[in-house]
Structure 1
């Protein structure tokens, strides 16, 4: 796996390698937790590892992973997007209504979903980057605005799978060479965004902003443009997720993905993306989404009350934030000791 780097100045073999090691350890620990969780559940209920069970986990995790990838771009710039769940619900319903009434196919659904998501992300980005309104306030407000718009358009109606064009439904249930389309899309997006953040100067500027906004500004980083880009990308991926939600489930109501904004943030933080910005990878965020989805499936298989799923996610979120804080303190101390030795 490829880990991102901090923009803090370090000496060769110093802070950068230490940070890389910590990030790899976080991602490997999530992978290890997944293996242990799946193995323990399979022992308790061998049917858990059936082909259909594994496919369902990856299908359900794909939409959450896409949202987590978009959220990662925002969080590493020291911001947050709480509107993604509402955008998914709006896109799923509006797109479903459009294709069912107008008779359009897959391409029209994808383009409409991207357009709606981009507009929502653009509004968030303009308010945060240009107007200077705190991201928490902006996205909490747009969350309720988008929810209200969704309910207004729905008027209690629902979109039925029978009214959705078959090519769109095939996207949610089909596969290529045995690999379902949804996980394949999520992996391709993850690899593309991860490569961009690691390999392009503009991608590394996202981390510079999150690590030290003032230093990034003095270095000439276009902070407003990058923050705006992060929100637009988050909106675009939420639009894609809304179309995939429609393709996956077929039947859509106005409350789809209600409450998912906190699940997305949890997946990102559990995946090792620091809530204070500047640290984390999209690979870790995607693994966090897979872990949370697997936990939900495990609790269903073991017939555990759904309440404990939310409680466990909350515990993991608190644990991840605590670990991030502890690692940040230890890394700072380690860097100071290294720099002091080199100074001598």
Structure 2
């Protein structure tokens, strides 16, 4: 083999390496393109899909999932997982609904109460994981059942319905600010805040460091226990907030509220490019992942797809996203390793 041939092959490998590296770094652009194509196809099949009313409903229905996905992103980046968020939503929603039905409290105070309940639950998760050393999946699975059991206990298996809630509480989710639904406004604020935290603060960089290489993070002096408490406390706080928003939106608090919803949130993160192996994920990607999942949940019924197929189609798309992300990351890592050897 001639030197010229070797040089050509080397240039081809470098070009391929750069392509995969750019794709992995800016995969959000591919996700945007996919969302646009999907919307065009759906609109061609049902002209009401891109109507103002349907878009507004779709974004509103995606807002709570988007809020939770930001917190789950932080958890997944640290190589963790939180299976208890559905139960935290149910617990905080039930307690806040009971407070409103008994005392008709100020909506702002109710929101703060929900966040405090969630933070306490999240810090409990963080303590078991960081201090005791229990695996995240075990700790959060156990607490999921505990939180759900507490919810059933304090409610005695009964619901809190809309007629027991104050009008001010119901307007938390149904009201508008400058013509924009409150749920959307709250989600936008949270995304702006967490975009800043993740990209421009020390704790944000420490979260990525712990997820990328825990041993190196420990050697560099990063307090991993503090980071994990922050991550799970934040996830809990967002779940507590979502509990209030959920009950206000659906005007009902039940013992099984948001049961299994944590899996939907994790799916949104994975679609958005968050690595379950830790160390990788962007706020913009999570937003797009939640949006894509919201589009699918809204569009499939409009296209008269059988309910039996809807979950399967969503699962297939999620699986495709995971496989694509894994293959590209593997290619990038292999090329980086070869470059270091050279």
Asked if 1 retains the 8 angstrom alpha-carbon contact of 2:20 and 2:328, the reply is no
User: Which residue of structure 2 lines up, in the alignment, with residue 197 of structure 1?
Assistant: 198
Q: Relative to 1, partners in 2 of residues 1:23 and 1:167: Cα closer, same or farther, differing over 3 Å?
A: farther
The answer to whether structure 1 residue 152 and structure 2 residue 129 are counterparts is no
Unpaired runs of 5+ residues, structure 2, are: 1-17
Name the CA distance, whole Å, in 2 between partners of 1:106 and 1:286.
27
Asked if 2 retains the 8 angstrom alpha-carbon contact of 1:90 and 1:150, the reply is yes
CA positional deviation for 1:19: 8.8
Runs of 4+ deviating beyond 6 Å: 17-20
Name the CA distance, whole Å, in 2 between partners of 1:339 and 1:40.
44
- The count of aligned residue pairs is 325
Name the CA distance, whole Å, in 1 between partners of 2:151 and 2:20.
43
Q: TM-score, with normalisation over the residues of structure 2?
A: 0.90
Name the CA distance, whole Å, in 1 between partners of 2:122 and 2:242.
14
Q: Relative to 1, partners in 2 of residues 1:18 and 1:86: Cα closer, same or farther, differing over 3 Å?
A: farther
Alignment RMSD = 1.8
CA positional deviation for 1:305: 2.1
Specify the SS of the correspondent of 1:274.
coil
Specify the SS of the correspondent of 1:48.
coil
User: Which residue of structure 1 lines up, in the alignment, with residue 45 of structure 2?
Assistant: 44
User: Which residue of structure 2 lines up, in the alignment, with residue 283 of structure 1?
Assistant: 284
Q: TM-score, with normalisation over the residues of structure 1?
A: 0.90
Query: Residues 257-315 of structure 1: CA distance to partner in whole angstroms, max 9, x if unpaired?
Result: 11101111111111100001000112211221111111011111112222323222322
User: Which residue of structure 2 lines up, in the alignment, with residue 53 of structure 1?
Assistant: 54
Asked if 1 retains the 8 angstrom alpha-carbon contact of 2:24 and 2:329, the reply is no
Name the CA distance, whole Å, in 1 between partners of 2:189 and 2:251.
23
Unpaired runs of 5+ residues, structure 1, are: 1-16
Asked if 2 retains the 8 angstrom alpha-carbon contact of 1:89 and 1:150, the reply is yes
Name the CA distance, whole Å, in 1 between partners of 2:235 and 2:117.
12
CA positional deviation for 1:37: 2.0
User: Which residue of structure 2 lines up, in the alignment, with residue 322 of structure 1?
Assistant: 323
User: Which residue of structure 2 lines up, in the alignment, with residue 9 of structure 1?
Assistant: none
Map 1:1-344 onto structure 2 (within 5 A). 21-340=22-341
CA positional deviation for 1:331: 1.0
Name the CA distance, whole Å, in 1 between partners of 2:236 and 2:21.
29
CA positional deviation for 1:201: 2.1
Asked if 2 retains the 8 angstrom alpha-carbon contact of 1:172 and 1:248, the reply is yes
CA positional deviation for 1:18: 8.1
276-285 or 167-176, which deviates more: 167-176
Name the CA distance, whole Å, in 2 between partners of 1:30 and 1:175.
30
Higher CA-based Rg: 2
